Chain A
Amino acid sequence: MAPIHMPSALSFELIAKCSVTKARAANLRLPHGEVPLPIFMPVATQASLKGLTPEQLEDTGCRLCLNNTYHLGLKPGQTTLDAIGGAHKLQSWPYNILTERSFQMVSLLKLSKVTEEGVRFLSPHDGSPMLLTPEHSISLQNSIGSDIIMQLDDVIATTSPDHARIEEAMKRSVRWLDRCIAAHKKPEIQNLFCIIQGGLDLELRRQCCAEMVARDTPGIAIGGLSGGEAKDAYCKVVDTCTGLLPEKKPRYVMGVGYPEDLVVSIALGADMFDCVWPTRTARFGNAITSSGTLNLRHSSYASDFSPVEEGCPCVCCRPPEQGGLGITRAYIYHVAAKETAGAHLLSMHNVHYLLTLMKSARTAIVEDRYPAFVKGFFAKLYPERSKYPEWAVTALKGVGVDLLVN
């Protein structure tokens, strides 16, 4: 297929590149304001970030969050979204929204089957057969009005042993991208991102990159990862793809959210990430800190009157003397899983932690000291170097950072 030009509703300004790794810092201007890259995007699946008000989300520093196309398509539904005027109006969120593609959820449904036409599945309600097509997916995202929309793709678990099926899925995703581009009614206000597929096969990934880059979408996602594959393989795929992607476009790795994954992926040249983990884990009483994740439901925290993370400037941790709430680990222990407010407090902390981590990473890139930042990050997270995860050491060595050397 001949390269086509696609209108874009974003501008991407690269402001710094790490002189050692592939890390980059950029400004991404979207229809609802500018966001700094690299960025972590919290997931407000059903137009709400798990109990937080849009105002609280704003206060964590978030300016770009995710909604799920599939969920909004079911509730409140396309007709309602059209009547209300889209998801920004629905949730009174004046900033940017990215809508996760719907396929991933559909693939969960029983007896789903992917055909060239679309995804056939049985209705979760009454078992009647239904069909979801790339055109449906785009139409729904046009109704949602999100600033970044995702193509419908054919996702196969990266761990699938069926190579032929993986190749078929990759090629079909390319064909579906064309259908999505053709169906996209609002390219001047919504940015369609393609999704690179190809499982863990680097050759397939290369082919997919070439095909999709030629379609010139405003941004590019690397999909099909974070589904249980080995971290080494994950890193190789990200590294390979970013090597082939144009420098002047945002690169989004879908479904990634553990702090160490973010830090390594940034070094491999990725810019955008999303994950439900920080808010989901908060509901189970888990706090993300620079020295690891703490399960505050453990009785050892019952009388621990230190903040969730010492020195953290989030509203939850900041001491009362500095205008914060001064919430202690002991108090989270007291309310976790008993009052929803406990989850809300930890969600604010966890989201704030990841956004702040991204901010520090960005500053380090701008000041060209990202390798030192990465080393400092791992040194804090793991008490001993021998505990460093091997995949991270290997992946970082590949981009010129040896974690085991000062």
Chain B
Amino acid sequence: MADNLTLGLSQLPDEMLTFTLLKASEGLTPRLGKLAFPGRSTIQTPHYIGNASRGVIPHLSQDLFRKHTNIDAIYVPLEDFVEKAPQHTPPVYELDLPDAESPLRRFIALKQDAFLIMGARRTPPIAAPAANTNGAISILTSVGFRHLASSDYVAAAQKLRPDIVVGLGDIVYKQQAKPSNKRVAKMADRTEAWTKDIVDGKSGLDKTTRDGPRYSIFASVLPISSELQSSYVDELADELRDQLSGLAIYDPSSLTDLPQALTPLPRLSFSEPSSPRQLLHELSLGTDLLTIPFINAATDAGIALDFIFPPANASSSTRRPLGVDMWSSTHATDLSPLSSGCGCYACKRHHRAYLQHLLAAKEMLGWTLLQVHNHAVMDQFFAGVRASIGKDKFEEDRVAFEAVYEAELPERTGQGPRQVCVIVNGVRGYQFKSEGPGEAKKNASAYRMLDERKELLAEASTPSSGTDAKDLENIGFAEVVERQ
């Protein structure tokens, strides 16, 4: 095969993505590893991957990302960048840079030492009404649903030069109806063909540019039982094995019965765990890297995550909540940090009273600070998980965690940001699909316009309803005049 010609090059040690298993045992057990690539920070696994929207972690401008987070890898979906392709060339494709540089990295101003992982779809994705075809998957860009051909995806990977490309998979997502038997039969065949496309594309890249770092491939393993995709998985373990740097999984149960040859590969999960408890379950099966949509969901809900792993000893009989609802007016004068002992920027410089004020006033900064904090909590969580696995105490600590903390994150009580950037039922603002004429507005109008000084008025919200003039008087704003 043509692939063999490039095999030698791809194995040069200084160019390669390497994953070293530091601790792993037979079967489905938690494991420790490290992911390294020249020029990037080495990632100790298990760890989470930052989940980007249009190239940024929502609410975190790139300077804050660098200064106040420890995120060393982000997941960037191609569907955020190819609005009108293939009719119009996506702008980022036109960014010409000297050979080795990644136009995508430069475009989104991602720092040099962070891993850039590209996939096709956001996570969680919006289910598309049109089915995938043999040559293309359905995606959703900011201007609507369309198809992304496997060949176009390969071209994007070649052009945009991410560190890691997640191979296309014919995935039926959780949000969709269960696939029919007929569909299941096709899924593995299609995914196999697409994986071969991206593998071939990698060697094709070598003809145009020499020496530049090339993308590494994480092949998608389908969220169906291993018997149903056995020929595909065998192909991964055999013919394609040397071209693969990792696996992408969509359901932790697909790790069962994987061929031995695939065990050393890092496993990146898109399974959307809804809580730390589910996350721990997944880690117990040997997942190495994860995107965790609940971080962002908690932020948008105004919840400051508040848990550690392993948990401090259970002092009370009731389970502790996994987060603090910052909308609650009980924080109004509370000058303590979001969680005690947290060293993040939000906790070091600010306090609960400010967070509560920012949310109540619908100031964007509230969500920014929460995002900084919530990622810091996950940093600590994963550090604890790794230490625990290292000490062979993971199962024990996991049981303790489940005993100490509630099963799910607290319910949201407050409103999220205006829906230009909010998740509601997993739907991102611009991805709302109109359901026809006469729909109610997605955002309640924040202000009633009066005749003059509209600009000033629009600058900030007027008080919301629900309080009366007495309350205004009580807070010392003005006094109520007796009606005459």
Interface residues of A, Cβ cutoff 8 Å to B: 43, 45-56, 68, 70-71, 73-80, 83-84, 89-92, 104-105, 107-110, 120-121, 123-126, 128-133, 136, 139-140, 143, 157, 227, 276-277, 280, 302-303, 305, 315-316, 320, 325-328, 330-331, 333-335, 337-341, 343-345, 348
Complex CA–CA separation, A80 to B354 (angstroms): 11
Complex CA–CA separation, A68 to B457 (angstroms): 12
Return A328 CB to nearest CB of chain B, in Å. 7
B456 and A48 contacting across the interface, CB-CB below 8 Å: no
B477 and A280 contacting across the interface, CB-CB below 8 Å: no
Return B41 CB to nearest CB of chain A, in Å. 17
Q: Is B159 at the interface (CB under 8 A from chain A)?
A: no
Q: Is B481 at the interface (CB under 8 A from chain A)?
A: yes
Among the stretches B56-64, B144-152, B198-206, the one at the interface with A is B56-64
Q: With A46-B460, A53-B64 in contact, do A340 and B54 touch (Cβ < 8 Å)?
A: no
Query: Within residues 415 to 429 of chain B, which ones have a CB less than 8 A from any CB in chain A?
Result: 417, 420-421, 429
Query: Within residues 237 to 285 of chain B, which ones have a CB less than 8 A from any CB in chain A?
Result: none
From B361, B417, B469, A340 is in contact (CB under 8 Å) with B417
Q: Is B177 at the interface (CB under 8 A from chain A)?
A: no
Query: Within residues 429 to 484 of chain B, which ones have a CB less than 8 A from any CB in chain A?
Result: 429-430, 450, 452-453, 455-460, 462-463, 465-469, 471-481, 483
Output the nearest chain B residue to A136 by Cβ-Cβ distance. Answer: B478
Contact bitstring B340-379, A, C-beta under 8 A = 1, else 0? 0000010001110110111011011111110000000000
Complex CA–CA separation, A45 to B460 (angstroms): 7
B61 and A129 contacting across the interface, CB-CB below 8 Å: no
Output the nearest chain A residue to B364 by Cβ-Cβ distance. Answer: A51
Q: Is B27 at the interface (CB under 8 A from chain A)?
A: no
Q: With A48-B358, A78-B477 in contact, do A108 and B94 touch (Cβ < 8 Å)?
A: no
Complex CA–CA separation, A315 to B65 (angstroms): 13
Q: Is B55 at the interface (CB under 8 A from chain A)?
A: yes
Return A56 CB to nearest CB of chain B, in Å. 7
Contact bitstring B44-80, A, C-beta under 8 A = 1, else 0? 0000000001111011111110000000000000000
Give the number of residues in B that approach A within 8 Å (Cβ atoms): 76
Note all chain A residues with C-beta closer than 8 A to B56: 335, 339, 341
* A-B pair number, CB within 8 angstroms: 231
21 A-B pairs, CB-CB below 8 angstroms? A50-B363, A71-B460, A76-B356, A84-B353, A109-B450, A110-B450, A129-B483, A130-B469, A130-B472, A130-B478, A130-B479, A131-B480, A136-B476, A143-B476, A303-B94, A315-B63, A320-B106, A326-B109, A328-B107, A334-B81, A339-B56
Complex CA–CA separation, A104 to B454 (angstroms): 12
Note all chain B residues with C-beta closer than 8 A to A136: 476-479
From A74, A325, A330, B63 is in contact (CB under 8 Å) with A325
Q: Is B142 at the interface (CB under 8 A from chain A)?
A: yes
A48 and B455 contacting across the interface, CB-CB below 8 Å: no
A56 and B361 contacting across the interface, CB-CB below 8 Å: no
A43 and B459 contacting across the interface, CB-CB below 8 Å: yes
A125 and B463 contacting across the interface, CB-CB below 8 Å: yes
From A276, A328, A339, B53 is in contact (CB under 8 Å) with A339
Return A250 CB to nearest CB of chain B, in Å. 23
Output the nearest chain B residue to A315 by Cβ-Cβ distance. Answer: B63
Return B426 CB to nearest CB of chain A, in Å. 17
A303 and B363 contacting across the interface, CB-CB below 8 Å: no
Return B118 CB to nearest CB of chain A, in Å. 16
B472 and A74 contacting across the interface, CB-CB below 8 Å: yes
A126 and B58 contacting across the interface, CB-CB below 8 Å: no
Q: With A136-B479, A344-B61 in contact, do A123 and B472 touch (Cβ < 8 Å)?
A: yes
Output the nearest chain A residue to B111 by Cβ-Cβ distance. Answer: A320
Q: Is B16 at the interface (CB under 8 A from chain A)?
A: no
Complex CA–CA separation, A325 to B107 (angstroms): 10
B476 and A47 contacting across the interface, CB-CB below 8 Å: no
Complex CA–CA separation, A53 to B463 (angstroms): 23
Q: With A73-B477, A105-B456, A327-B109 in contact, do A90 and B468 touch (Cβ < 8 Å)?
A: no
The 5 closest A-B pairs by CB, nearest first: A77-B475, A78-B476, A51-B364, A123-B469, A83-B333
A48 and B367 contacting across the interface, CB-CB below 8 Å: no
A341 and B472 contacting across the interface, CB-CB below 8 Å: no
Output the nearest chain B residue to A302 by Cβ-Cβ distance. Answer: B91
Complex CA–CA separation, A344 to B473 (angstroms): 35
Note all chain B residues with C-beta closer than 8 A to A348: 61, 63
Return B333 CB to nearest CB of chain A, in Å. 4
Q: With A53-B369, A124-B462 in contact, do A76 and B456 touch (Cβ < 8 Å)?
A: no
From A52, A125, A315, A330, B472 is in contact (CB under 8 Å) with A125
Note all chain A residues with C-beta closer than 8 A to B62: 325, 327, 341, 345
From B91, B335, B475, A73 is in contact (CB under 8 Å) with B475
Note all chain A residues with C-beta closer than 8 A to B100: none
Q: With A48-B361, A345-B61 in contact, do A124 and B353 touch (Cβ < 8 Å)?
A: no
Q: With A80-B332, A302-B91 in contact, do A51 and B475 touch (Cβ < 8 Å)?
A: no
